[in-house]
Amino acid sequence: MRQRRLGRFGLGLSTAVLGLFLAVTPTLACGGLIGPNGAVNLLRTSTFAGYHDGVEHYVTSFEFAGGGGAFGSITPLPAVPTSVEKGGDWTLQRLVRETSPVAERVSLDFAASAPAASGAEELMKVKIDALDLTVLKGGAADIGAWATAHGFRLPPDAPEVLDFYAARSQIFLAAAFDADAAGARGQAVGDGTPIHITMPTDNPWVPLRILALGKNAGEVVQADVYLLTDRAPALLPAPTGSNGIRLDHSARATESLLADLQSDRGMAWIPSSGWLTKVAVDGTAGQLGYDLAIDASGAGRPSAIDAGFTMPGAVIPVTSVDFSRILLALTFVGIGLVGLGLMAKARPSAGRPIGW
Give the type of residue at 20. Answer: L
For the chain, the C-alpha Rg in angstroms (whole number) is 27
Residues 158-197, one symbol each (x = binds other proteins by CB under 8 A, - = not), give xxx-xx----------------------------------
> End-to-end CA distance of the chain, in Å?
91
Residue whose C-alpha is closest to residue 50's, from 300, 253, 301:
253
Tell me the window of 24-32, 43-51, 81-89, 328-336 that interacts with other proteins (CB under 8 A): 24-32
Strands (DSSP E) contained in 12-54 are: 20-22, 42-52
Least distance (Å) from other proteins to the CB of residue 36?
A: 12
Residue with smaller CB distance to other proteins, 30 or 354:
30
Given 11, 13, 16, 23, the residue binding other proteins (CB under 8 A): 23
Site string for other proteins, 126-155 (x = CB under 8 A): --------------xxxxxx-xx----xxx
The sheet with strand 70-77 has its strands ordered as 20-22, 70-77, 171-178, 131-137, 121-128
Q: Is there a contact between 48 and 59 (Cβ–Cβ < 8 Å)? A: yes
How far is residue 51 from each of residues 87, 230, 234, 275, 342, measured CA to CA in Å?
16, 7, 13, 10, 69
Interaction of residue 76 with other proteins, rule CB under 8 A:
no
Cβ 167 to other proteins, closest distance in Å?
A: 14
Q: Is 28 in the site for other proteins (CB under 8 A)?
A: yes
Is residue 50 a contact partner of residue 95, using CB atoms and an 8 Å limit? no
Query: Among residue numbers 215 through 254, which ones bind other proteins (CB under 8 A)?
Result: 216
- Among 1, 31, 315, 348, contact with other proteins (rule: CB under 8 A): 31
Q: Out of 33, 238, 333, 337, point to the residue binding other proteins (CB under 8 A).
A: 33
Question: Any residues with CB less than 8 A from the CB of 330 and at least 6 apart, and which?
Answer: none
Q: How many chain residues are in contact with other proteins, going by CB under 8 A? A: 29
- Single out the residue of 27, 37, 41, 240 in contact with other proteins (rule: CB under 8 A): 27
65 is an interface residue for other proteins by CB under 8 A: no
Among 81, 194, 214, 302, binds other proteins (CB under 8 A): 214
CB atoms within 10 A of CB 284: 15
**Residue ranges in contact with other proteins by CB under 8 A:** 23, 27-34, 140-145, 147-148, 153-160, 162-163, 214, 216
